Amino acid sequence: MSQKVSMKDISDACGVSIATVSKALNDRGDISEETKQKIKFIASDMGYFPNAAAKALKTSRSYNLGVLFVDDAMSGLTHDYFAHVLDSFKRTAEASGYDITFINSQAEGEQPRSYLEHVQYRGFDGVVIACVNFYDPKVEELIRGNIPVVTIDHVFDNRIAIMSNNIKGMKDLVTYCISQGHRKIAYVHGAYSSVTQSRLSSFYKTCESFGIDVPEEYVLEGDYRNTSKAFACTEQLLKLKDPPTCILYPDDFAAIGGIGAIHMMGLQPGIDVSVAGFDGIPIAMRMHPPLTTLHQDTETLGRLAAQRLISLIDSPRTTVIEQVTVDGQIFPGGTVGKIN
Amino acid sequence: MSQKVSMKDISDACGVSIATVSKALNDRGDISEETKQKIKFIASDMGYFPNAAAKALKTSRSYNLGVLFVDDAMSGLTHDYFAHVLDSFKRTAEASGYDITFINSQAEGEQPRSYLEHVQYRGFDGVVIACVNFYDPKVEELIRGNIPVVTIDHVFDNRIAIMSNNIKGMKDLVTYCISQGHRKIAYVHGAYSSVTQSRLSSFYKTCESFGIDVPEEYVLEGDYRNTSKAFACTEQLLKLKDPPTCILYPDDFAAIGGIGAIHMMGLQPGIDVSVAGFDGIPIAMRMHPPLTTLHQDTETLGRLAAQRLISLIDSPRTTVIEQVTVDGQIFPGGTVGKIN
DNA sequence: AAAAGTATCTTAAACGTTTTCGAAACAAAA
DNA sequence: TTTTGTTTCGAAAACGTTTAAGATACTTTT
C-alpha cells in the first residue's frame, strides 16, 4: 500500500491528461469546475500527494527554510534563549506551509562546502541566522549571497534584522531595581559582543539619569552562561568594603551562579542582597523565589523573523528592509527586594 | 555570479557529454582518470554543486532525515533533555552527509495531512521520533509506515529503539544516596508514563535490596519540569514528624524547585537536607553547589539514534532491529551530603 | 588477420512535476 | 454565414540529474 501514486496514475484513472490533473490540483483557472472536482476527489481517494523534489525542481521553490544556529562555543539548540526563538520561528513557518531544516557546512563525503553552497544545494527559499559568530567569513558569504535572509540580534547592511531591545531591556531592569530603593548596583556583564555593548551602555546611562554613580569596581566581566565566573565575581563584589545591594548578571544562568555564592555566604537572595538575571528562561522564572529578570520576548522574535522572511520571499519588492526591535518585559520575581 | 551552473554547462565547457560529467563527479568506474580529473577541476572552477531536488527525484534518496519532536505539552525544542539529544543527533547525522528537517502535520494551504504523508512528500530517507505522545494515532501511522525509523525512550514492536537506562539510573542514584549514609529517602516522582514506572519500581527495588523501608508518605506525585509541585511536596515532606534526610525528584527542574523550598525554610541543601535531580542538564550541574543528579547520556543517545537510523537506511537487511539502552552516569554534585 | 575483449564515451530515457502554446469545441458577434 | 471570442483541454518541452544500453576505438588473443 501507499506505493507512490503520481499524477500519471490519476490522469489514467480520470481519463484526462496529466496537465489537466496538475491544473486541477493547483486550482488554476484553465479548467472546468466539474472535472476539477472529479480529479480532486479521485486524487484524494487514491491517496495522492505531490512529490516535493519534482515540484521544487520544476518551480525552483522548495518551501523549505534554512536555519543557521551553529553550535561551537554556544550551541544553538541547547542554548535556552535561541532554542525558544527557534521554536517560535518553527511554529509560524510551519503554519505558513514551510518546512525548516538546519544549515551546516558538512560535505557529502567531499570537502566541506560553505554555508551558501549548502543553501543553494538544497534550494532553500530563505534563511534565518542567529546565534552565530557573525564575523565568520562563511557567514558573511551567506549573507551577501543572493537569497532572502533575516538575522536575529545582529544587523547587517541592507538586510532585515530582528533585534531584541537590549537598550530598553536593561533600562527597564535598572529602573526597576532603583524603584525598589537600590542605589548601589553592580553589573557582572557578558563577554564582548554588540549585545553586551548595548546593555552596558544602557546600564551606565540609566544609572546616570537617576544621578547614581557607579564605582569602577562594581562593573566586572563575567560571561554568558558561565555560573563559575558569576560565582567568583559575586564573592568579590560582596567582599568589598562598600558592597552593592543589587547585582545584575549577563543572563539567568549566571544569576543562578551568583545566587549560589550568596547562599554559600549564608545570605538570602532578595533579602540580604538582590540579584537580577536576563532572558527570562523558564527555570529562572519558576525558581523559589522566582528570579527577577528581563524576559526577552522569544515568541515574538521568532514569529517576526518567520513572518518577515516569508514576506521577503513572497514579495521581495514590497517588503521593506528594516531592523525591527522587540521589547522584552520585566519579570519582577522575588530576588530584587525592597530596600529602606 | 553564482547563477546556477549545471552539468550541462560543464559538459559544454569540457566538450564531453552530460553523462560523462555525471560519472566523473560521482567517481564511477566507466571513465578515464584523465578526463575525470579535468572535469572535476573545471566543475570546481565554475563553482558547480549539484541540485538536491534533481538528484532526489532521480535517485529517490533525499539525504534528508525527518525528526519528530512535537511541542504541545512538552515542547521538544525547549525541553533541555530532548534538545540535547537532538543536538547530538544532528551533529552525527550531518557528519554523515544527512540534513535534518522537522516533521510536522501542517498543510500547505490545504487540509492538515498526517506525519506519514509529510514524510513521503518530502521523501525523507528516515525518521527519528522522540518526545511525543506515542499513543497518538498519527504517530502510530508513521511508525507503521514503510520508512526506516528509530524511536527514543519508547519501544515499538519490531522497530529500533534507543532507550536511556532509567532502571540502572535510578538504582545508581539511590545507591549513591545510601552510600552517603542516607536511609530515609523520599521520592517525588513524575506523572504517569513508562519512564516514570521504570524509575519508580527501580527506586523501590533498590531500597528494598538495601533493607530500607520506604514509608508511604515518602512517595509523592510531582511532575516533570514542575517546580511548584516540587516546592509544595518538599514542604510537605519536611513537615513530617519523621522527615526524610534525602529527597529525589523527577528531574533537575523539579529539584531546583525543591531547593527553593529548602532555602525558604532556612535550611541548606546538602547539609540540612539532601536533594537529587535527574537528567543532568547544564544549569543543574553548574549551580553552587552543583546539583547531585543522574546525568543521562544525551550525547550517546542522539549519536546512536543517528548511527542506527543511517545504518538502517543504508543496509536494511543487515542491521539488527533491537532496542539499545544507554547508561547514564551519576553526577555527585554537592546536594547530597554525607550523614552520620 | 580475424575475432574477441576492454576501456571510454554518448545517446536517450526516465524521475514527477509545471507551463507554454496550440487544438478543439462551442458560443457570440458581425 | 463567417468571423471572433471563450472555455476547456492536451502535447510537449523543460527542470537537473542518473543510468542502462549502445557505439567507438583500441588491445589482446587466437
> How do residues A85-112 score in pLDDT, each as one tens digit?
999 999 999 999 999 999 988 765 556 6
Contacts of B260 in chain A (CB under 8 A): 287-289
DSSP-assigned letters across all residues of B59-96: HS---EEEEEE--SSS-STT-HHHHHHHHHHHHHHHHT
Specify the pLDDT at position A101.
97
Q: Is the pLDDT of residue B74 over 60?
A: no
Q: Is the pLDDT of residue B123 over 90?
A: yes
- Helix runs in A66-221, H state only: 80-95, 115-122, 137-144, 166-179, 194-209
CB-contacted nucleotides of strand D (7 Å): 7-12, 14-21
Nearest C-alpha in B relative to A103: B99
Using pLDDT thresholds of 50, 70 and 90, give the confidence band for residue B131. Answer: confident
The CATH number of the structural domain formed by A166-296 is: 3.40.50.2300
pLDDT tens, residue by residue, B22-57? 999 999 888 999 999 999 999 999 999 999 999 999
Give domain A64-164+300-328's CATH superfamily: Response regulator (3.40.50.2300)
Backbone angles phi, psi at B125, to 5 degrees: -80, -20
Which whole number is the average pLDDT over B243-262? 96
Contact at 8 Å (CB) between B152 and B161?
yes
The structural domains of chain A, with segments of one domain joined by +, span: 7-50, 64-164+300-328, 166-296
Which whole number is the average pLDDT over A266-285? 95
Type of residue numbered A272: D
List the 22-81 stretch of A: residues with Cβ below 8 A of B: 49-54, 56-57, 62-64, 71, 75-78, 80
Question: How many whole angstroms separate alpha carbon B143 and alpha carbon A131?
Answer: 34
Backbone angles phi, psi at A39, to 5 degrees: -65, -45
Contact at 8 Å (CB) between A220 and A180?
no
Distance of B29 CA from C2 C1′ (whole Å):
30
Q: Can you count the helices (H) and strands (E) in chain B?
A: 13, 12
Question: How many whole angstroms separate alpha carbon B190 and alpha carbon B192?
Answer: 6
Nearest C-alpha in B relative to A252: B283
- Most B CBs within 10 Å, among A49, A84, A279, to test the B interface: A49
DSSP-assigned letters across all residues of A133-166: -TT-HHHHHHHHSSS-EEEES---TTSEEEEE-H
Average pLDDT, chain A: 93
Question: How many whole angstroms separate alpha carbon A194 and alpha carbon A204?
Answer: 16
Verify if strand C has an atom below 7 Å from the CB of B18: yes
Region of residue B279 (left: phi > 0; alpha: psi -120 to 50; beta: else): left
Q: Is the pLDDT of residue A52 over 80?
A: yes
* DSSP at A112: -
Q: Which CATH architecture has domain A7-50?
A: Orthogonal Bundle (1.10)
- Helix runs in chain B, H state only: 7-14, 18-25, 33-45, 52-59, 80-95, 115-122, 137-144, 166-179, 194-209, 227-238, 252-264, 282-285, 298-314
Verify if strand C has an atom below 7 Å from the CB of A30: yes
Nearest to B52 among A99, A123, A268 (CB): A123
User: Which residue shows C-alpha cell 528494598?
Assistant: B208
Reply yes or no: is the peptide bond before residue B289 cis, omega within 30 of 0: yes
SS3 label, residue B122: helix
Cβ-Cβ pairs closer than 8 A, A with B, add up to 165
Verify if strand C has an atom below 7 Å from the CB of B62: no
Q: Contacts of strand D, CB cut-off 7 Å? A: A 15-20, 30-36, 54, 57-58; B 4, 6-8, 18-19, 22-23, 25-26, 30, 48, 50-51, 54-55, 57-59
Specify the pLDDT at position A1.
39
Q: Which residues contact A45 (CB under 8 A, 6 or more apart)?
A: none
The top-scoring range by mean pLDDT among A2-6, B3-7, B75-79 is B3-7
CB-contacted nucleotides of strand C (7 Å): 7-12, 14-21
Specify the pLDDT at position A2.
47
List the 231-290 stretch of A: residues with Cβ below 8 A of B: 231, 253, 256-257, 259-261, 263-264, 268, 282-283, 286-289
Please tell me the distance in Å from B241's CA to the nearest CA on chain A.
Answer: 24
Average pLDDT, chain B: 93
Distance of A20 CA from D3 C1′ (whole Å):
29
Residue A227 and residue B95: Cβ atoms within 8 Å? no
Using pLDDT thresholds of 50, 70 and 90, give the confidence band for residue B194. Answer: confident
Q: Do domains B7-50 and B166-296 have the same CATH topology?
A: no
Check if A317 contacts B (Cβ < 8 Å).
no
Question: How many whole angstroms separate alpha carbon A222 and alpha carbon A254?
Answer: 8
Nucleotide nearest to B32 (CA to C1'): C8
Contacts of A268 in chain B (CB under 8 A): 263
User: Which residue shows C-alpha cell 522574535?
Assistant: A301
Q: Which residues contact A107 (CB under 8 A, 6 or more apart)?
A: A113, B97
Specify the pLDDT at position A71.
58
User: Which residue shows C-alpha cell 547592511?
Assistant: A157
Residue A57 and residue B50: Cβ atoms within 8 Å? no
Question: How many whole angstroms separate alpha carbon A226 and alpha carbon A22?
Answer: 56
Nearest C-alpha in B relative to A61: B53
Region of residue A90 (left: phi > 0; alpha: psi -120 to 50; beta: else): alpha
Q: Can you count the helices (H) and strands (E) in chain A?
A: 13, 12
Q: What percent of chain A has pLDDT over 90?
A: 85
pLDDT tens, residue by residue, B294-313? 999 999 999 999 999 999 99
- Most A CBs within 10 Å, among B101, B233, B253, B262, to test the A interface: B101
Q: What percent of chain B has pLDDT over 70?
A: 96
Specify the pLDDT at position A107.
60
SS3 label, residue A247: strand
Specify the pLDDT at position A110.
56
Specify the pLDDT at position B112.
63
Which whole number is the average pLDDT over B67-95? 85
Specify the pLDDT at position A3.
60
SS3 label, residue A327: coil
Nucleotide nearest to A59 (CA to C1'): C18
Question: How many whole angstroms separate alpha carbon A39 and alpha carbon A46?
Answer: 10
What is the Cα A26 distance to its own chain's centre? 34
Specify the pLDDT at position B30.
87
Contact at 8 Å (CB) between B333 and B285?
yes
Specify the pLDDT at position A108.
58
pLDDT tens, residue by residue, A249-259? 999 999 999 99
Question: What is the reported pTM?
Answer: 0.94
- Residues forming beta bridges with residue A207, ordered by sequence position: none
